Amino acid sequence: MITIGHQRVRRQRSWKRFAAAGAAIALLLWVVTLGAVVASLVLAPTCAAASPRGAQPAVTGRVAPTPVSGHPVAVATAENDQSVFVALATWGTGDPNGIQVFRRGPDGLRPRGIIPLRSAVSGLVLSPDGQVLLATVDDGLAILDVARGSTGDPSSLMGYVPAAGGAGALGTALAAGRYLFTTDRQAGRIDVLDLPRIESGDFGPSAQVGTIEVDVAPSGLAVSPDGRYAYVVSQLQRPAVRLGTADLLYGGLASFGALRKAGTLSVIDMKRIDLDPSTAVIARVSAGCAPSGVAASPDGKTVWVIARQSNELLAFAADRLRRGKQPDPLAQVPVGAAPIGLQLVRGGRFALVAESSGAGDSGAAEELCVVDTVAALAGRQAVRTRIPVGGFSGDIWVSADQRLAYVANNGSSALTPVDLTALFG
């Protein structure tokens, strides 16, 4: 009995030593993680926030909003702009996941039905021939047949292509008619898919070409007109000190807007993707506070970026970006609060910028800012007008005939058409 008692005492002491050692290791890991985050904060480039531009007189151009059965985040049109597909996000229980389909007519948009998907949709893009609609969902890509989908037929869903590493898909872009890019916000990378394989019905692993690592929380994609380069904006530069838990904490702080550090604009060389996607990023520069959208001018000379936290539209020279040196912006235009949507129209002569200040959470109207890009590059007053739209604006889609723009108003559950002919003639 005495021996057993001693054994119990030894076991209790051993357990306490193990517990103390575990606590010491946990504390050390926490200190190292905190140190990595602090070091990254100190070394990361800063950015200056600008005040949003005040209201401008509204002009004719707004069309009555069309109610949507959910919270729209992206739009695409097909069949000569007669079919309108609206991606739906979820805000709570009961919100539909999927794509609501409308038909354009002389009296506006008429709903045709909702194509249900297995999770919320965050981006839409059409194949070059207009026959396939590609929608980003939480864990990959949904593939739909446009002809059947235009009637709202649920059987138009042909299948899903999984993301390379799981959840996090946000937006899409086509490159050179061959590649399909999807941004993985959680992983901080671009997944590259083989578009011809997908169009032929191959939705398996062979459709995945590779991945391209970019910075924290990529949120916008654009491709140069010649298809040679792709541009990606990320909310924040990757931590200067890389450590798993520190990276997650650093990215989480950025996602909640707790950091006033510069985001980045990365340049991808398409010719390197076949050889080794991991080497495809040829340049990375700072691009304002929390950049959220990017667009390349039709002549390929200028790359435009909207910075959400610094409330501005920035222009960069494309050739200088590709050389990898940090260029000064060609233009910095103060726009509305927290811009998140960007589209160039009329041959790049104008930029449409949608704000998302947060007032739209209650359905209150926000605005679409119209910027004269020529005036901006010349250093002149560039904001032409601001047009009232619905609450919490997001994605902007421009019809193929350049006569209408559609603004997805997530907060007010509406799609706002804007008459570009009335604006520009």
- Angstrom distance (rounded) from CA 300 to CA 323: 15
pLDDT band, residue 362 (cuts 50/70/90): very low
- Angstrom distance (rounded) from CA 341 to CA 171: 12
Structure tokens at 282: 């040829």
* Average pLDDT over every residue of 280-289: 91
pLDDT of residue 376: 97
* Average pLDDT over every residue of 18-31: 68
Residue 201 has φ and ψ, to the nearest 5°, of 100, 5
If one compares 53 and 371, the residue with the highest pLDDT of the two is 371
Segments of 66-131 assigned E as strands: 66-67, 71-78, 83-89, 98-105, 108-116, 121-126
pLDDT over 50 at 1, yes or no: no
CATH topology of domain 44-424: Methylamine Dehydrogenase; Chain H (2.130.10)
- Angstrom distance (rounded) from CA 361 to CA 129: 37
Lowest mean pLDDT across 17-26, 52-61, 160-169, 180-189? 52-61
Lowest mean pLDDT across 58-72, 75-89, 353-367? 353-367
Identify which of 52, 35, 202 has the alpha carbon closest to the alpha carbon of residue 132. Answer: 202
If one compares 85 and 216, the residue with the highest pLDDT of the two is 85
pLDDT over 80 at 248, yes or no: no
| Residue 347 Rama label (left phi>0; alpha psi -120 to 50; beta) | left
pLDDT of residue 91: 79
Q: What does 64-78 look like in DSSP terms, one character per residue?
A: PPEE-SSEEEEEEEE
Entry pTM:
0.85
Read off the amino acid at residue 418. Answer: V
pLDDT of residue 345: 96
Q: Is the dihedral of CA 63, 67, 71, 74 positive or negative?
A: negative
pLDDT tens-digit profile of 397-420?
A: 999 888 999 999 988 899 999 999
**What's the Rg (C-alpha) of the chain?**
24
pLDDT band, residue 361 (cuts 50/70/90): very low
Identify which of 425, 406, 308 has the alpha carbon closest to the alpha carbon of residue 50. Answer: 308
Question: 307, 290 in Cβ contact below 8 A?
Answer: yes
For the chain, percent helix, then strand, then coil, each to nearest 5? 20, 45, 35
pLDDT over 90 at 333, yes or no: yes
Burial of 193 (C-beta count, 10 Å sphere; 0-12/13-18/19+) = buried
pLDDT band, residue 131 (cuts 50/70/90): very high
* Average pLDDT over every residue of 99-115: 93
pLDDT over 90 at 145, yes or no: yes
Q: How far is CA 319 from the centre of its chain?
A: 24
If one compares 37 and 330, the residue with the highest pLDDT of the two is 330
Question: 284, 265 in Cβ contact below 8 A?
Answer: yes
Scanning the structure block, which residue is given the tokens 């104008």?
Answer: 350
Average pLDDT, the chain: 83
Residue 383 has φ and ψ, to the nearest 5°, of -75, 115
pLDDT of residue 56: 56
Express as a percent the part of the chain with pLDDT over 90: 44
pLDDT tens-digit profile of 262-273?
A: 889 999 999 998
* Average pLDDT over every residue of 281-303: 93
